[in-house]
A = this chain, B = another copy of it.
């Protein structure tokens, strides 16, 4: 069973799960595990790792339109080197500070591979789910796409400082709470724009037509060899932690005014199918 099938199975078994966060009692709760082999390329600093790992969980809180309250992390490593551990904690604390949440610690685990498990907690009386979109609404995305894909190329090229910068994203908690009164459906783009759109459409029982230009990050332009790679990094690679949401046409300008970051309208919801510039957009992306 691949991870996607396994997640589907879990969703059936656990009705509170299946969205970016579980919702329980006016609160949202989410947890993620990241590890060196698959998530932290050579050159990723422990500060960036702490920021990014905790940020990924905060992004899930943002995707529910919830306010982030607190986060914890487990730091698993073969050895506990003081400077590395403190750098991780600083990164985790700083990303929490950036969104007004509190980093309240966690646990240590002696582990063969550097592995971190992060959990974030948020609060909302009215969570925005993936399932509320209907045909004829605007499809929007915050910020820019492809930062992480570009970062990976830069890590490989040895440009680690710039790559680390791109790897540290600000979780869209403020944008999420600002969008919550307007958005009918929302999720984060951690699996890539393409997969995220498919997931949102599947949950909502609708489709979406997307039109270029997409808000692809300038960093992608600086590393992509051609348009194909630009699309690959910006649309399929994922791990970007922007918010993808649907907003009724009549509320779009109010939503845009409320959101403290760029909000690009990239398309419109339809009765079915996911297309980009009239062509079918494949349901593929980053598998965690």
Chain A interface (Cβ within 8 Å of chain B)? 1-3, 5-7, 9-11, 13-14, 16-18, 22-25, 27, 29-35, 37-38, 69-70, 72-74, 76, 79-82, 85-86, 89, 93, 102-113, 115, 117, 119, 121, 288
Number of copies of this chain that the complex holds? 2
Inside 8 A of A111's CB, which chain B residues have their CB? 33, 35, 115
Other A-B pairs, 8, CB within 8 Å; known A110-B288, A111-B115: A6-B108, A14-B105, A31-B106, A31-B107, A31-B119, A32-B109, A35-B76, A109-B288
- For the complex, what is the distance from the CA of A110 to the CA of B113, rounded to whole Å? 13
Inside 8 A of A72's CB, which chain B residues have their CB? 22, 29-31, 119
What's the minimum C-beta distance from A145 to chain B, rounded to whole angstroms?
Answer: 23
What's the minimum C-beta distance from A284 to chain B, rounded to whole angstroms?
Answer: 17
CB contact under 8 A between A29 and B107, given known A9-B86, A112-B113, A121-B121: no
CB contact under 8 A between A10 and B112, given known A31-B119, A32-B74, A74-B32: no
Q: Are B70 and A103 in contact (CB under 8 A)?
A: no
Which of B29, B33, B79, B81 is within 8 Å of A74, CB to CB? B33
Q: List 12 A-B contacts (CB under 8 A).
A: A1-B80, A6-B80, A6-B82, A6-B108, A16-B102, A23-B104, A24-B69, A27-B121, A29-B72, A31-B74, A31-B107, A110-B288
- For the complex, what is the distance from the CA of A23 to the CA of B121, rounded to whole Å? 12
CB contact under 8 A between A109 and B33, given known A9-B85, A80-B3: yes
